Amino acid sequence: MLRYLDRPINVAVALIALVAFAFGVGSWKLGFWTDDGPGPGLLPFAAACLLLPILFLILREEFDDKERFHPHPLFAVVILCVYATVIPYAGFLIPTVLLIVAWTRLFEQQSIVRGAILSVLLIAFGWVVFVYLLKVPMSMLPELR
């Protein structure tokens, strides 16, 4: 099982098959035909049904696939998702400083001080461009929301 999941194409095919199944069920409920012609479920149902044999074809393709997952990007995806979950509650500043420090430390092997300096500089640049110049309202700290 783990060997199967090591190949990105297998993971992608499995996820796409799940998506196709979910959309297929959803479109079934929407209906394929109305008195005036095709219903809202027809095209998505057709697309979902077509996807399944195509996914089968992809799995059977002889493809020189040496790609394997690398732990860094997978860990980065987790960090980014946690960041996106936390940021509405914690404001922009603290999660973003932590994100950049963690990013530079874990993935770029830079010191925490370097990461902290970079985060301050980048956030200051972004704040000047977006918040100050372009007037985008952004909650920087939780108390100020």
| Cα–Cα distances in angstroms (integers) from residue 48 to residues 60, 66, 88, in the given order | 19, 29, 34
Report the residue number, 55 or 94, with the smaller CB distance to other proteins: 55
Residue 94 binds other proteins (CB under 8 A)? no
Record the tokens describing residue 96, joined without a space.
């973003």
| Comparison of 1 and 130: residue with beta carbon closer to other proteins | 130
Which 20-79 residues touch other proteins, going by CB under 8 A?
20, 23, 26-27, 30, 34, 36-44, 47-48, 50-51, 54-55, 57-58, 61, 63, 65, 67, 69-70, 72-73, 76-77
Structure tokens that stand for 88 in this block: 């509405």
- Provide, rounded to whole angstroms, the least separation between the CB of residue 12 and other proteins: 4
Interface residues toward other proteins, by CB under 8 A: 8-9, 11-13, 15-16, 19-20, 23, 26-27, 30, 34, 36-44, 47-48, 50-51, 54-55, 57-58, 61, 63, 65, 67, 69-70, 72-73, 76-77, 80-81, 83-85, 87-88, 96, 99-100, 103-104, 107-110, 114, 118-119, 122-123, 126, 129-130, 134, 136-138
